[in-house]
Amino acid sequence: MLIISSVTRAFTLKVQQENPSSLFQPAPQLLSVNGPPGSPGTMHQLLLVFVATAGASVFGLPRLDASRADGPCVAPLQWEGRWVVYDHSTGRNSRAAVSYDGLNQRIRVLQQHKKHTPCQRFFEYIYLYQSMVMFQIDQKTKECSKIALTEAWDPFDIPDNSTFEDQYFIGGPGDNIEVQEWSDRKPARKHETWVGIYTMKDCYPVQETYTRNSSVTTSTRFFSLQLGITDPNVFTPPSTCQSARPERMGNLKC
Domain segments of the chain as ranges: 78-241
Residue 236, number of CB atoms within 10 A of its CB: 13
pLDDT > 90? residue 73: yes
Confidence (pLDDT) at 248: 94
Which residue, 52, 64, 35, 74, is CA-closest to 202?
74
Return the minimum-mean-pLDDT range out of 20-29, 108-117, 120-129, 132-141: 20-29
Q: Which of 64-78, 132-146, 180-194, 198-212 has the lowest mean pLDDT?
A: 64-78
| CATH assignment, 78-241 | 2.50.20.30
CA 109 to chain centre: 22
**pLDDT tens, position by position, 126-153:** 999 999 999 999 999 999 999 999 999 9
CA atoms of 251 and 254, how far apart (whole Å): 10
Single-letter amino acid, residue 102: G
What does the DSSP assignment read for 27-83?
Answer: PPPPPPSSSSTT-HHHHHHHHHHHHHHHHHHHH-PPPTT----SS-----SEEEEEE
What's the half-sphere exposure (Cβ side, CA atoms, 13 Å) at 54?
19
Nearest Cα residue to 53 out of 43, 64, 42: 64
Query: In angstroms, rounded to a whole number, what is the distance separating the alpha carbons of residues 151 and 154?
Result: 8
Instruction: Output the pLDDT for position 214.
Output: 74
Query: How many CB atoms sit inside 10 A of residue 219's CB?
Result: 16
Predicted pLDDT at 41: 52
- pLDDT tens profile 50-60: 444 444 433 33
Which of the four pLDDT bands, split at 50, 70 and 90, describes residue 77?
Answer: very high
SS3 at position 234: helix
**Alpha-carbon gap, residue 116 to 99, rounded angstroms:** 26
* pTM score over 0.85: no
In whole angstroms, give the CA distance from residue 235 to residue 110: 11
Calculate mean pLDDT across residues 18-41: 45
Asked whether the CA dihedral 103, 109, 110, 113 is positive or negative, the reply is positive
Percentage, residues of the chain above pLDDT 90: 60
